Amino acid sequence: DARVTQTPRHKVTEMGQEVTMRCQPILGHNTVFWYRQTMMQGLELLAYFRNRAPLDDSGMPKDRFSAEMPDATLATLKIQPSEPRDSAVYFCASASDQGILDEKLFFGSGTQLSVL
């Protein structure tokens, strides 16, 4: 079964440390999304890429967050420096964009981040 792979599954770190989360989208999928989920805010869209180009990262705090796709098989989300309010589950999702707005999103299992 094709799936989106995220690493690490869990991360506990101290405030001020750098955190890097990785995502391997499903082979052939050209649209990749990063979401953050908290109890209060639900699923917030942080950034998304189409054919590796960033389309929109307006949902992301620019001073500390960065998202990249160094190649078609890897997307990264970095937080530097991390803060306790960044504690959340971070999901990566991918879709095969065929130019129609009816494509199913496939999610990874998420990274549970705790910043102490």
Residues lying near other proteins in the complex (CB under 8 A) are found at 31, 33, 35, 41-43, 45, 48, 50, 55-56, 91, 93, 95, 97, 101-102, 104-105, 107-110
Type and span of the H or E element at 88:
strand 88-95
Q: Are 41 and 35 in contact (CB under 8 A)?
A: no
CB of 81 to other proteins, least distance (A): 27
CB of 107 to other proteins, least distance (A): 4
Q: Are 97 and 109 in contact (CB under 8 A)?
A: no
Nearer Cβ to other proteins (43/81): 43
CB of 16 to other proteins, least distance (A): 28
What is the phi/psi pair of residue 86, to 5°? -80, -5
